[in-house]
């Protein structure tokens, strides 16, 4: 609801500001996640190119997708997550990038390019902005109190009913999203995390039903505050959100310490991608903007600001130590091997999955 309001306001403001921009003035309309860029980068871009950036933010993929599918959004550059990107490409939402206008593509990191190609074959429509993992955020002190160890937790704290039961009163939150939780459950079971087989999915669902009594809530954003405030001990969530919780807890100085763990059994990767809507009004400027964001110094500055890994190999030399050396952000090669990506479900498969998921969530 709040997201909807924010998005509506943003759209209204964009419509207004886009109209104000005069014909000769070069403009690029960017629609990105909230708190996802160092504002000085936008100023630098304008200084360097003379292109004014009209910057709006959203905070859920659903909001972005609804606008893109409805058409006529007026944006030139948008930042969907790769799993959404794929179905949006299929729906004809995006235009192919003109690679001749993107010389900085050579800076990109092949390891990430390979993975994003799973969603966008040949990386024709998008380039990676940031990437991260779906892992476990936890309250460090409570974890030690309950399990008696400093070790970073693995999936068993969530998916092993005996262990999860110990965290029941302390509180566990899971993302309210089948496509983010089911692959992790499959990974814990040793099955293919990308399996679309009904039998595999039902096994994962059975597993989830066993731990369902110990889950306080399925929600896709509330865990940030809940972790930071010490209201819950464990959350399965996006790395970026959990870093945010960690920072908020540190700022609050209320004795809560939050940390993030990429489970040893493997975790799902996510990629936020820069893409251009098919009806982007300023295609030339959009290319310039995307190319600019692939400059090693620029994207390094962005990563240093938001504490996310980026998909730009050349930028790594410019990253702060606390970013490049944090294995929660840039995992070791060994862990990198275990990270997985998933392919989206067909519409009819998705319906079934959603129904399965609703039953898990509501415990019915």
Partner 1 sequence: MAKLASALVSRLVIIVPYAWLLFFFLIPFFIVFRISLSQTAVAMPPYTPVFDLAGGLAGILEKAREFSVDNYVWLTDDALYFNAYVSSLVIAAISTLLTLLIGFPIAYGMAKAPRSIRPTLLMLVILPFWTSFLIRVYAWIAILKPEGLLNQFLTTIGIIDQPLIILNTNSAIYIGIVYSYLPFMVLPIYSALEKMDNSLIEAAQDLGCTPTSAFWRVTFPLSLPGVVAGCLLVFIPAVGEFVIPDLLGGSETLMIGKTLWSEFNANRDWPVSSAVAIILLMILVIPIVYFQNVQAKADSEGK
Give the residues lining the site for partner 1 (CB under 8 A).
1-2, 60, 62, 65-66, 68-71, 87, 90-93, 171, 176-178, 215-219, 222, 230-231, 347, 350-351, 354-355, 358-359, 361-364
Nearer to partner 1, 175 or 293 (CB): 175
Give how far the C-alpha of residue 197 lies from the chain's centroid of Cα atoms, to the nearest Å: 25
**328/356 with CB nearer partner 1:** 356
Report the 10 Å Cβ neighbour count for 8.
12
List all residues 6 or more positions away from 121 whose beta carbon is below 8 Å from its beta carbon.
Answer: none
Q: How far is the CB of 164 from partner 1 (least distance, A)?
A: 15
* CA 151 to the chain's CA centroid: 25
Task: Write down the least CB distance from residue 59 to partner 1, Å.
Answer: 13
At its nearest, how many Å lie between partner 1 and the CB of residue 358? Answer: 6
Nearer to partner 1, 16 or 213 (CB): 213
Q: How far is the CB of 348 from partner 1 (least distance, A)?
A: 9
Nearer to partner 1, 115 or 212 (CB): 212
How many residues would you count in the chain? 364
Q: How far is the CB of 162 from partner 1 (least distance, A)?
A: 21
Q: How far is the CB of 111 from partner 1 (least distance, A)?
A: 29
Q: Which two tokens stand for residue 59?
A: 């905070």
Q: What is the Cα–Cα distance from 77 to 94, expressed in whole angstroms?
A: 10
Closer to partner 1 by CB, 151 or 165: give it. 165
SS3 of residue 235 by DSSP: strand
Query: Which residue in 74, 134, 168 sits closest to 267, CA to CA?
Result: 134
CB of 62 to partner 1, least distance (A): 3
Looking at beta carbons only, is 72 or 103 nearer to partner 1? Answer: 72
Decide if 42 contacts 55 (C-beta within 8 A). yes
The Cα–Cα gap between 228 and 251 comes to 10
- How near is the Cβ of 89 to partner 1 at its closest, in Å? 9
135 or 230: whose CB is closer to partner 1?
230
| Listed residue (271, 273, 194, 275) closest to 240, CA to CA | 271
What stretches of the chain show up as alpha helix (H) in DSSP? 2-20, 39-49, 61-70, 82-90, 110-116, 140-147, 156-159, 161-166, 178-188, 198-211, 222-229, 239-252, 283-293, 296-306, 321-324, 333-338, 347-362
Specify the residue, 40 or 358, whose C-beta has the smaller distance to partner 1. Answer: 358
Minimum separation from the CB atom of position 175 to partner 1 (A): 11
Looking at the Cβ atoms of 207 and 361, the one nearer to partner 1 is 361
- The residues, any chain, with a CB within 8 Å of residue 267's CB and separated by 6 or more, are 133, 134, 135, 184, 187, 338, 339, 340
- Cβ 172 vs Cβ 233: under 8 Å: yes
**How many helices and strands (H and E) does the chain possess?**
17, 10
């Amino acid at each position: 609801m709040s997201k909807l309001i924010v998005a509506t306001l943003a759209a209204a403001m964009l419509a207004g500001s886009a109209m104000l921009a005069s014909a000769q003035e070069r403009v690029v309309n960017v629609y990105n996640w909230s708190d996802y860029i160092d504002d000085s980068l936008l100023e630098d871009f304008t200084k360097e190119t003379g292109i004014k950036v009209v910057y709006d933010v959203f905070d859920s993929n659903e909001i972005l997708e609804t606008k893109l599918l409805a058409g006529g959004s007026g944006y030139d550059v948008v930042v969907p997550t790769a799993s959404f990107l794929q179905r949006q490409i299929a729906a004809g939402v995006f235009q192919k990038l003109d690679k001749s206008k993107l010389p900085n593509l050579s800076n990109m990191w092949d390891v990430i390019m390979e993975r994003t190609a799973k969603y966008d074959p040949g990386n024709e429509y998008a380039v990676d902005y940031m990437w991260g993992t779906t892992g476990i955020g936890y309250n460090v002190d409570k974890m030690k109190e309950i399990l008696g160890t400093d070790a970073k937790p693995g999936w068993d704290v969530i998916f092993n009913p005996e262990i999860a039961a110990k965290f029941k009163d302390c509180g566990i939150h899971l993302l309210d999203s089948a496509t983010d939780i089911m692959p992790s459950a499959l990974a814990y079971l040793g099955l293919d995390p990308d399996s679309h087989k009904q039998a595999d999915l039902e096994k994962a669902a059975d597993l989830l039903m066993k731990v369902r009594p110990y889950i306080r809530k399925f929600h896709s954003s509330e865990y940030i505050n809940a972790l930071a405030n010490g209201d819950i001990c464990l959350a399965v969530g996006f790395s970026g959100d959990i870093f945010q919780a960690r920072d908020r807890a540190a700022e609050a100085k209320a004795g809560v310490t939050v940390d993030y763990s990429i489970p040893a059994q493997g975790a799902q990767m996510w990629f936020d991608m820069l893409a251009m809507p098919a009806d982007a009004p300023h295609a030339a400027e959009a290319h310039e903007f995307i190319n600019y964001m692939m400059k090693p110094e620029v994207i390094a500055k962005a990563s240093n600001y938001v504490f996310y890994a980026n998909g730009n190999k050349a930028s790594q030399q410019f990253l702060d130590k606390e970013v490049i050396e944090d294995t929660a952000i840039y995992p070791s090669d060994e862990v990198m091997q275990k990270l997985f990506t998933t392919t989206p479900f067909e519409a009819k498969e998705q319906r079934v999955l959603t129904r399965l998921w609703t039953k898990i969530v509501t415990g019915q």
